[in-house]
Structure 1
Amino acid sequence: MTVFLFELSFHLAAPVWLLMILAPNWAWTRRIAASPLTVVPILLVYLGLAASVVPELWTAVREPDLDTFRALVALADGAGAVWAQIIAWDLLIGQWMYLEARRLGLHPLLTGPLLVLTVLLSPVGLLLFLAVRATRPPTPAHHPAHPALR
């Protein structure tokens, strides 16, 4: 069951990522990306995995150190829970990046690769996006009511 839930956490996030990357101008993509509820199914998977390792999880967050964390992720359900949490938070980061890119009027050919990089290595993708964002202050043409952003 652990392997199934581990894999399920990514499969639940993948459709949202695919919409943001491959269909960025579709009206439903913006609506879906604007909702934090996209992560709820992934967080339910997290709870399912975390339920069996509550003592180890509590120890890891109460007394965070490398050995305690290593003991948690040495357990299959512990590693799965951490993975599901990472998938959920990465998706939220990606959704914010997508919405922010739309607000700034960034072209999907720039945003798409940054989102792919974020799926694979979220810290690197986010840092690169923040660097791009820093060079692109919003202008009146990038107002959310602008037709290109709908």
Structure 2
Amino acid sequence: MDMDLILERLGVEEGVIRRFRQEKITPDIISLMSLYDFNCLGVNDKTTIMKLRVECVCYRSNPWAHNNDSTRCRNIRFEISSIMIETLFEAGYSVKDTSIALGVSESTLFRKMGQFGLSKLAFTEIDEEELNIVVATTTTEFPTCGEEMLRKVLLQKGIKVP
């Protein structure tokens, strides 16, 4: 499968497709790329990056990764990294949506989360006074922010709260 077709199917703009072509990025390389690498190529949306990673697993050059007509993979087994799971959780995906995006069952996802020591409910240990200071500073900086934006700003600062 041609990388251009994968990118087009995901709705990536032509300029990004051109950069991928120029850098000779193949489906085999996608799983090795960092967020910085994607940003350099013009892909900044974490959800798009995850979709691209999942899609490219189906088209790697490994012969076992293809079905007979080499158009889609079936029953493929691949490694799910903690970064993949964390990225989807940070993007707001539920456990169910994350399992769908990764093409695995929820029980497989929970097993992987256990292996990596991940929890959808893991929150930052911060006392109430310190959190109030951070929230007050953030709302002063962004006076019209709502709850969702405040949560995202706190996440950028490394603070995950319920």
- The TM-score range, normalised by the shorter chain, is 0.3 to 0.5
Return the index of the structure with the highest Cα Rg. Answer: 2
Larger RCO (CA under 8 A, 6+ residues apart): 1
What TM-score, normalized to structure 2?
0.31
What TM-score, normalized to structure 1?
0.33
The structure where helix makes up a greater share of residues is 1
